[in-house]
Structure 1
Amino acid sequence: MQMLIRKSPWFFLMLIMFSCIDPYAVEVEEGVQLLTIDGMVTSGKGPHVIRLTRSDTYGSVFEGLVRPVSNATVIVRDNEGVVTFFAEDKDDRGMYYSPDEFSAIVGRSYTLQIQLTDGKVYTSLPEKIESEIAIQDIYFRSETSPVEGEINLASGVGIYVDVEDPAGQNNFYYWRNGPSVYELHTRPDLYVDRETRAPAPKDCCNLCYVQEEVGNYSVFLSNDDVFDGLSTRMKAGFIPDDGLRFVTTFRVDLKQLSITAEAYRFLRLVKQQVGISGSVFDPPPANIRGNMISLDNPNEVVLGYFMAAGEVEERIYINGADLDFRQQDGLIPDDCRVVDDTTLDPPADWLP
């Protein structure tokens, strides 16, 4: 028996509508390439570095999101008229370095000035070098945190400092990790030939020294609103445990920077934005404007902040055996020299 299907007139109308639609080509305007400045001068030893890049807000399918800005003229001028030229690293475009002997002077104000190859000129607002504040002592301890969906804990080493805060003045603290070095232990005796998959142990080498810029993985700030004139302990850094850094000895140079109130407000806002979790209780995103302006177009958005700071540096050695919690030791079945930024000899000032 043949079944007749009676279709509604709406069915045919919808069929005609959807069969006659042409694809609509969406043209997205290319994103504005924003000049970004990242750098500072301090009272510490040089060289000091200024990094210039351009970032796309959208467009270009996110190709080349961060592009170095090359061949710029970069100078820093103090309030007494002394000018220091920053030279671009020919092997690392967009990175401009001061002379090694340059250090900023406490009490003076510094202004960054940039001229690009197209003739556009940018300048910062003046930043004053605040007095250095000594680190009385430095400590470390193991710290762990849960990882969503994982059984194993994330861990690392928190760094803390004791500071005697000067009384009667507003002080703003900012900490950054300097260069670090650690002993890297590998297992060349376990090397396996990559083509045959047969054991092919190597005679050398199982101990190298890795030099790296480990970064701080957060923004560590404080001000003395609640401890003016008092001795206090503050968290100044955190170094993640990747299973390699803390097998034996790890060394890091911690920089304590005395910054201006304006720089502190900028960094605090950056920290708030970095900490946004995506919940309804988060504050709305803010438009973070730095202290750089265009002299050709005051309405141009320029990202970043040029800072000047008093600096003290403290070196700390961390022995893995002294940590209460460590990740399982990482295994590299190869000559340690195949790892980037390694040397067989420790630095001349390696004194654990």
Structure 2
Amino acid sequence: MKNSSVKLLGWVLILLVGGCVDPYRPPEIASPASYLVVNGFFNSAPGTTTTIQLSRTQNLTDPKAPTAESKATVTIESAHKDIYTLKEGTVGSYTLTGVTPVASETYRLHVKTTAGSDYYSDYVPVLTTPPIDSITFHPDNEGLQINVNTHDPKNNTRYYRWEYDQTWEYFSEFNSAFEIVNNKIVDRTQSVLQCWGSENSSNIITSSTTRLSQDVVSQFPLIHIPSYSIKLGSKYSILVRQFALTQAGFDYYDQLAKITQSIGSIFDPQPSQITGNIHSQTNTSDLVLGFFRVGSIETKRIFIRKSQLPGWYTNNGLGTCDIDTLGAGDILKEQPGIINLYIPGLYLTTPLPCVDCRLRGGTIQKPSFWE
């Protein structure tokens, strides 16, 4: 009887404690404050277009896409008072063509919004990014590791950042000869057997050679792809973009990476306020997110074919693509994928994603760079 009373008391305490717990919602989550976000740089490569994108932050509970900052006046100014005005094309996207920065000059970004707020970046130098020496890859026990190699023989760069775009070729399990259009079975006029998927880097990737005697980046890891990934099922390509940074730029991206990519335990960096080199001239408490830089980009692309890799199993994400035979009436009712005519009145069918590669997120449009 005594044990039963103790257990009952325990359950009552648990219910009372649970009932007293309210979810903690920091004021920042529902904060109406909207800060300017600046994305882009002044491209120093001759004949290229400089693009600066402006948008606004939003609170964490807002399901809508970030709001673009439209109709702003955006200029790039040199320390010697040369001023270049960018033109808005797509809403929130401002471009400048036909202007190449002078290597010995410094520049800053100036944004004036329709609300009358002025934002200036610090003056920054023109940085020349050294070429990418090579992109290498090697299989390991878990998949494919892709690395980047570069160096600056003048030992001037020291701080690097990378982005990449992935593209991969993949195929449907079966070639489809028919499709359903306007509730009729008709010949398929466009092949959906071969597709290309794509994905851009989302993490911030930086490295520094300041602790080395030579400005050499050797076998720096960019991405690891699991061996079963559909990306490695046929042919894969990666385009790597390399940027030289100042120490201030490196510190900004390095800190941003730590607080956005390494939060999850008590040992990780705690959330904190971080801003770049752009500041409000109108209100010092008005934060700006982003870092303005001037310089060039170096790019390199490689292709990797399945024949260059171990005989890994590729997970197509479809499960089992069972084949069935159905008549026209059942096909119009169930809407499966149609492989081919089996006998008059009957068709070979399978789940639609097994014959239409577009249903796995890709496109049938072959990329212009594809070999």
AA at the equivalent of 1:116: T
**CA positional deviation for 1:339:** 7.7
My pick for the range that moved more, 124-133 or 318-327, is 318-327
Equivalent position of 1:333 in the other structure: 354
**Alpha-carbon distance change, 228 to 202 in structure 1, aligned in 2, over 3 angstroms:** farther
Distance (whole Å) between structure 2 residues aligned to residue 43 and residue 190 of structure 1: 51
Equivalent position of 2:149 in the other structure: 162
SS of the residue 1:271 aligns to? helix
Equivalent position of 2:57 in the other structure: 55
Distance (whole Å) between structure 1 residues aligned to residue 204 and residue 44 of structure 2: 21
Say yes or no: does 1:135 pair with 2:156.
no
SS of the residue 2:267 aligns to? coil
8 Å CA contact 1:246–1:326 kept in 2: the answer is: no
AA at the equivalent of 1:225: T
| 1:114-193 map, 5 Å | 114-142=111-139, 157-166=144-153, 169=156, 171-178=158-165, 180-186=166-172, 187-189=174-176
Equivalent position of 2:42 in the other structure: 41
AA at the equivalent of 2:284: P
1:109 pairs, out of 81, 103, 106, with: 106
AA at the equivalent of 2:147: Y
CA-to-partner distance for each residue in 1:206-256, whole Å, 9 max, x for gaps?
Answer: 4556474x2223221111123232544142522756944333223332111
Structure 2 length normalisation: TM-score?
0.69
State the aligned residue count: 306
SS of the residue 2:74 aligns to? strand
Equivalent position of 2:203 in the other structure: 218
Distance (whole Å) between structure 1 residues aligned to residue 83 and residue 99 of structure 2: 11
SS of the residue 1:265 aligns to? helix
SS of the residue 1:67 aligns to? coil
8 Å CA contact 1:209–1:343 kept in 2: the answer is: yes
**Alpha-carbon distance change, 124 to 239 in structure 1, aligned in 2, over 3 angstroms:** farther
**Alpha-carbon distance change, 345 to 183 in structure 1, aligned in 2, over 3 angstroms:** same
SS of the residue 1:254 aligns to? strand
**Alpha-carbon distance change, 105 to 280 in structure 1, aligned in 2, over 3 angstroms:** same
- State the identity %: 20
**CA positional deviation for 1:116:** 1.1
CA-to-partner distance for each residue in 1:28-67, whole Å, 9 max, x for gaps?
Answer: 8752111111222333463332221111236xx5253621
**CA positional deviation for 1:268:** 0.4
Say yes or no: does 1:229 pair with 2:214.
yes
SS of the residue 1:68 aligns to? coil
RMSD of the TM alignment (CA)? 3.6
AA at the equivalent of 1:297: N
8 Å CA contact 1:166–1:228 kept in 2: the answer is: no
8 Å CA contact 1:337–1:344 kept in 2: the answer is: no
Equivalent position of 2:75 in the other structure: 75
8 Å CA contact 1:260–1:309 kept in 2: the answer is: no
AA at the equivalent of 2:110: Q
**Alpha-carbon distance change, 163 to 280 in structure 1, aligned in 2, over 3 angstroms:** same
AA at the equivalent of 1:56: Q
My pick for the range that moved more, 303-312 or 31-40, is 303-312
8 Å CA contact 1:175–1:221 kept in 2: the answer is: yes
**Alpha-carbon distance change, 275 to 84 in structure 1, aligned in 2, over 3 angstroms:** same
Distance (whole Å) between structure 1 residues aligned to residue 141 and residue 119 of structure 2: 44
My pick for the range that moved more, 237-246 or 299-308, is 237-246
8 Å CA contact 1:74–1:112 kept in 2: the answer is: yes
**Alpha-carbon distance change, 89 to 249 in structure 1, aligned in 2, over 3 angstroms:** farther
- Extract unaligned runs of 5+ from structure 2: 1-24, 319-352
| 1:280-291 map, 5 Å | 280-291=266-277
**CA positional deviation for 1:94:** 1.8
Distance (whole Å) between structure 2 residues aligned to residue 81 and residue 144 of structure 1: 57
8 Å CA contact 2:152–2:215 kept in 1: the answer is: yes
| 1:243-322 map, 5 Å | 243-322=229-308
**Alpha-carbon distance change, 216 to 210 in structure 1, aligned in 2, over 3 angstroms:** same
8 Å CA contact 1:205–1:337 kept in 2: the answer is: no
AA at the equivalent of 1:31: P
